[in-house]
């Protein structure tokens, strides 16, 4: 252990005593790391943004509909869907009917739907205890009802009991269509006619569609339609594949170029140090010591170079894309650049280790 630490210290000392070779190696590795982070980093950031946009468009959404009401789904189906692995959330809705404030029979109606299960986190609401006979108004429905605040009575028709609007909700994707309506707690006898579920990844959607179909238990299976965004899922996979291939090509090409340049530079450095290695061999360095010395020296320089390059690449990405690459991506690039440096050092290290020391030690 102590000898290992002293070998590392010796490698660092040698690196500092050869400022030109050290600077060139550090520059090469910094360039490799910087180019990868700034190009592939941008690709990754763009890929992330595009995929996020596609996902926002609903690639993870699964919609189950009872098209003509003959499936007769009850509230328990929402619980069964929620229990499936890889489902983020599921919420069911009953038949929508129009409501108006009492005494405004001629006014345009605003739909009200009973919902089943829990509203997901993407729907923010005012405090509410969902009791039958109460409802929440969507943020756009408040104006449609002619209310100044989210409070007041509504009814479906003059002879039906009033429903009290007791608060508001604001739904995000993919439930934003609810914002022009009201939701109410079910009174126990309504059927579920529409279920919206969100998978935790777009890749799981095909599997989950089948799984959901298996837990529906409809009275008439012919009335059930399950909709997913297959085409969007395919676009998503294509974008991910194309950009991934592009990024991998850049990484591979840059690493290969960096590896060759580093190997040539280290080879030049060890050639210039022939007498140094001859002296070390005479002092008792084994071939393994020489290989370790050259490799550790190169790795130490590569760590510094890769760190600086990654930092500069991150700045470039931030300037062009507006967000920094994820830390694990940057760390992976630094690790790859350092590994490339280590691999590049081995052939010149072997040349140095196996060179005949007597040839350089003899004075003609």
Partner 1 sequence: MVTLEGLSFGYRRSEPILDGLDYAFGAGLLSAVTGSSGRGKSTLLYLIGLLLTPWAGRVAIGEVPDATQLDDLDRSRLRARRIGFVFQDALLDPSRTVIDNVTEGALYAGVPRGAARARAERLLDRFDVRLRADHRPGEVSGGQAQRVALCRALLNQPDVILADEPTGNLDATSAQVVIEALSEAAHTNGVTVIIASHDARVVAACDQVLDL
Give the three-state DSSP class for 127: coil
Interatomic CA distance for residues 294 and 285, integer angstroms:
12
Residues 66/223, Cβ–Cβ less than 8 Å: yes
Residue with smaller CB distance to partner 1, 219 or 288: 288
Residue 358 in the binding site for partner 1 (CB under 8 A): yes
* Interacting span for partner 1 (CB under 8 A) from 2-10, 42-50, 128-136, 235-243: 2-10
Q: How far is the CB of 263 from partner 1 (least distance, A)?
A: 24
Residue 17 in the binding site for partner 1 (CB under 8 A): yes
User: Partners of 159 in the beta sheet?
Assistant: none
Residue 118 in the binding site for partner 1 (CB under 8 A): no
Residue with smaller CB distance to partner 1, 180 or 279: 279
Asked if omega into 53 is within 30° of 0 (cis), the reply is no
Please report where in the chains the tokens 């395919």 appear, as a residue: 234
Size of the site for partner 1 (CB under 8 A): 25
Q: What is the DSSP letter of 102?
A: T
Binder of partner 1 out of 287, 316, 332, 339 (CB under 8 A):
287
Interatomic CA distance for residues 34 and 117, integer angstroms:
50
Give the x-and-dash track for 266-285 against partner 1 (CB under 8 A): ---------xx--xxxxxxx
Q: Are strands 182-184 and 134-138 parallel, antiparallel or unpaired?
A: antiparallel
Give the x-and-dash track for 289-318 against partner 1 (CB under 8 A): x-----------------------------
Q: What is the DSSP letter of 191?
A: P
Residues 281/357, Cβ–Cβ less than 8 Å: yes
Give the three-state DSSP class for 362: coil
Give the x-and-dash track for 141-180 against partner 1 (CB under 8 A): ----------------------------------------
Residue 286 in the binding site for partner 1 (CB under 8 A): yes
Q: How far is the CB of 50 from partner 1 (least distance, A)?
A: 53
Binder of partner 1 out of 49, 225, 238, 361 (CB under 8 A):
361
Please report where in the chains the tokens 């929508």 appear, as a residue: 96
Give the three-state DSSP class for 160: coil
Binder of partner 1 out of 49, 107, 210, 288 (CB under 8 A):
288
Q: How far is the CB of 14 from partner 1 (least distance, A)?
A: 8
Write the CB contacts of 342 (distance below 8 Å, at least 6 apart in sequence): 295, 298, 299, 302
Binding site for partner 1 (CB under 8 A): 2-3, 6-7, 10, 17-18, 275-276, 279-289, 357-358, 361-363
């Amino acid at each position: 252990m102590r000898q290992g630490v002293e070998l590392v210290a010796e490698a660092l000392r040698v690196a500092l005593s050869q400022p030109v070779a050290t600077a060139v190696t550090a520059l090469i590795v910094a360039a490799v790391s910087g180019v990868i982070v700034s190009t592939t980093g941008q690709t990754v950031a763009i890929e992330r943004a595009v995929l996020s946009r596609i996902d926002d468009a609903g690639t993870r959404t699964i919609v189950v509909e009872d098209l003509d009401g003959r499936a007769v789904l009850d509230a328990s189906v929402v619980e069964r869907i929620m229990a499936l692995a890889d489902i983020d959330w599921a919420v069911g809705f009953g038949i929508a009917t129009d409501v108006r404030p009492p005494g405004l029979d001629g006014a345009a109606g605003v739909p009200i739907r009973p919902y089943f299960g829990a509203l997901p986190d993407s729907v923010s609401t005012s405090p509410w205890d969902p009791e039958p006979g109460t409802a929440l108004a969507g943020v756009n429905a408040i104006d449609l009802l002619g209310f100044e605040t989210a409070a007041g009575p509504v009814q479906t028709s003059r002879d039906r009991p009033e429903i009290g609007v007791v608060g508001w909700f604001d739904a995000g994707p993919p439930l934003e269509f609810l914002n022009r309506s009201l939701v109410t707690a079910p009174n126990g006898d309504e059927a579920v006619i529409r279920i919206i579920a969100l998978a935790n990844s777009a890749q799981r959607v095909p599997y989950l569609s089948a799984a959901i179909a298996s837990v529906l238990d409809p009275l008439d299976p012919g009335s059930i339609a399950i909709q997913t965004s297959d085409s969007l899922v395919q676009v998503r996979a294509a974008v991910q594949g194309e950009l991934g291939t592009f990024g991998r090509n850049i990484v591979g090409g840059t690493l290969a170029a960096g590896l060759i340049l580093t190997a040539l530079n280290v080879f030049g450095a060890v050639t210039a140090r022939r007498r140094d290695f001859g002296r070390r061999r005479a002092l008792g360095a084994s071939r393994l010591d020489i290989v370790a010395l050259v490799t550790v020296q190169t790795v130490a320089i590569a760590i510094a170079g890769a760190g600086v390059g990654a930092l500069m690449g991150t700045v470039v990405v931030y300037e062009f894309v507006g967000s920094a690459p994820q830390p694990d991506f940057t760390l992976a690039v630094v690790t790859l650049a350092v590994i490339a440096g280590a691999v590049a050092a081995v052939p010149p290290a072997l040349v140095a280790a196996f060179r005949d020391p007597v040839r350089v030690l003899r004075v003609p």
